[in-house]
Amino acid sequence: MPDLLIMVFHVKRQDWGKMTKNVIVWGTGNVGRLAIRAVASHKELNLSGVIVHSDSKVGTDAGSIAGIDDLGVIATKDIKIAESSDIDAVIYTVNADFRPEESLSEILPVLRSGTNVVSTSFHPLLHPPSTPEPMSSQVIEACEEGDSSIFVSGIDPGWIIDILPIFLASMGSNITEVRAQEIANYAGYDQPDAVRFLCGFGQPMEYDAPILTDWALMQVWAPMIRVLADGFQVELEEITTEVDKRPLEKDVFVEGMGDFETGTQGALRFEVKGIVNGKPLLVIEHVTRIDDDCAPEWPKNSPEGGFHNVIITGDPCLTVSVHGEDPIDPGAASGGNFTAANRIVNAVVPVCEASSGIIHPLDLPTNLGSSQIKQ
C-alpha cells in the first residue's frame, strides 16, 4: 500500500512546480555559461533564449557556449527578448562590478514587463530590508508594476554565508562565533581586470584596491552579516571591517594575466564582523593570494586552488569545508561558480511563484535541488 505521507508530499510538490518555466540566460561569462548547463538539466525549466555581449558569440548555439551538446537555442544581442510575455524569468549573470548603473537599468524594464529575475549581480539586494535608496524604491516599484520578483545570491557572498551556517548551527550548542571563510588563489580566476584593478594584485602596495575599501566591504558583505543576524534572531550593535595586505617576495607569472612583480601586492586579507553584545559573533573572512608562497603566516590554501570553510565555535567546534570541481569547465574557480549558478537557477520556480518584490534568501524553500535529481 502506498505511503500516504509520501503521496501528499508529491501532490504538494507537483502543485508548486507543475508548469514548465521559460527562462533566458543573460550573460555567458564565468557564471552564465554554467547557468545554461543548470537550466538544461532542470526538469521544470525550458531555455528559451541567451543574451550575449560579444559579437563573436552571436549566432552560436547555447550548448556550444556552455561546452555541452547543442540545445537548439541561438545566442543574440537583442535584450528586448527578456521582456517578452512568454518569458517567466531571466537569469542575469552579467558582472555588474564595473557597470552597476547600466546593469540596474537593464533589469528594471524586465521586472516592469512582468518577468522575474534571479541574479548573482546586485549585492545591495542580498539583504532586502537594508537595500539602499534609491535602488530599493526603484526595484520595488518595478516589481509592483510588473507583479514580478527578484532574488540575488551566489556563493560568497551567497549560500556559503547564509543558508549553510544557519543549517550547521542547528547541530551545535553554546555557540560563540559563526565564521564563513574563503581561502583562494586568484591565479585561477578568469577575470584579469578584476584581479588586477578591483582586488589590487600586482599593484603598488599603496594602491587603494576598490574591493578593500570600507564602502565596498559594507556594500558586498555587510548584507550577508545582516542575513545571518536575521536567521539567528540576534540584534547587531554594529558591523566593522578589518583589512591587511602583503607584498610578493618574488616575481610571479600567471598564464593569461602576465607578470606580477616583487614588492607589489601579492595577498590580501579582510574580515567583516557583526558585533553582538560587544563581541564579533558573525564573521566573514577572506584570504586571497596570487601566489601560494605569499603571506605564509596566514591560513593556507588548498592544492586545488581554493575552498570555503564554515566554522562554528561552540560545543562541538565544527568546521565544514567546501570545494567544487567541474570536469567540463576547468579552473580553480569553476566549481564555486557552478554552485552560484545552481543556487539562482534552482530558485527560479519559487521566485516565479512568490509575491512581488525583493526576495529574502531565508524565505525560499530548502529543497531547491529536487528538480536536478536524475532518476
CA-angle at 210, arms to 97 and 272, nearest 5°: 95
pLDDT digits over 185-221, tens only?
A: 998 777 889 899 999 999 999 999 999 999 999 999 9
pLDDT digits over 80-107, tens only?
A: 999 999 999 999 999 988 899 999 999 9
Cis bond before residue 129 (omega within 30° of 0): no
Q: Which residues contact 239 (CB under 8 A, 6 or more apart)?
A: 218, 222, 225, 226, 272, 273, 274, 275
Q: Which domains does the chain have, with CATH numbers?
A: 4-153+347-372 (3.40.50.720), 163-330 (no CATH)
Distance CA 364, CA 301 (A): 33
Interaxial angle between packed helices 135-146 and 100-112, expressed in degrees from 0 to 180 and rounded to the nearest 10: 20
The beta strand positions in the chain, using DSSP E, are 21-26, 45-51, 75-76, 89-92, 116-119, 149-152, 173-185, 238-247, 252-254, 258-260, 265-276, 279-289, 306-315, 318-322, 357-358
Query: Where are the alpha helices (H) located in 234-347, listed in sequence order?
Result: 334-345
Distance CA 272, CA 260 (A): 28
Stretch 350-373: mean pLDDT: 95
Residue 248 region, left (φ>0) first, then alpha (ψ -120 to 50), else beta? Answer: beta
Per-residue confidence (pLDDT) for residue 106, from 0 to 100? 98
Closest CA to 239 of 267, 256, 220: 220
Per-residue confidence (pLDDT) for residue 17, from 0 to 100? 45
* Per-residue pLDDT band at 298 (split at 50, 70, 90): very high
Residue 152 · residue 300 · CB < 8 Å: no
Per-residue confidence (pLDDT) for residue 15, from 0 to 100? 46
- Pairing mode of beta strands 173-185, 306-315: antiparallel
Question: Which grid cell is 17?
Answer: 512546480
Residue 312 · residue 175 · CB < 8 Å: yes
Closest CA to 196 of 209, 182, 183: 209
**Counts of helices then strands in the chain (DSSP H, E):** 11, 15
Per-residue confidence (pLDDT) for residue 32, from 0 to 100? 96
Q: Does residue 38 carry a pLDDT above 90? A: yes
Distance CA 128, CA 359 (A): 7
Distances in whole angstroms, Cα of residue 87 to Cα of each of 24, 82, 115, 178, 280:
7, 7, 6, 40, 44
Interaxial angle between packed helices 32-41 and 334-345, expressed in degrees from 0 to 180 and rounded to the nearest 10: 50
Length of the chain: 375
Of 1-5, 164-168, 215-219, the range with the lowest mean pLDDT is: 1-5
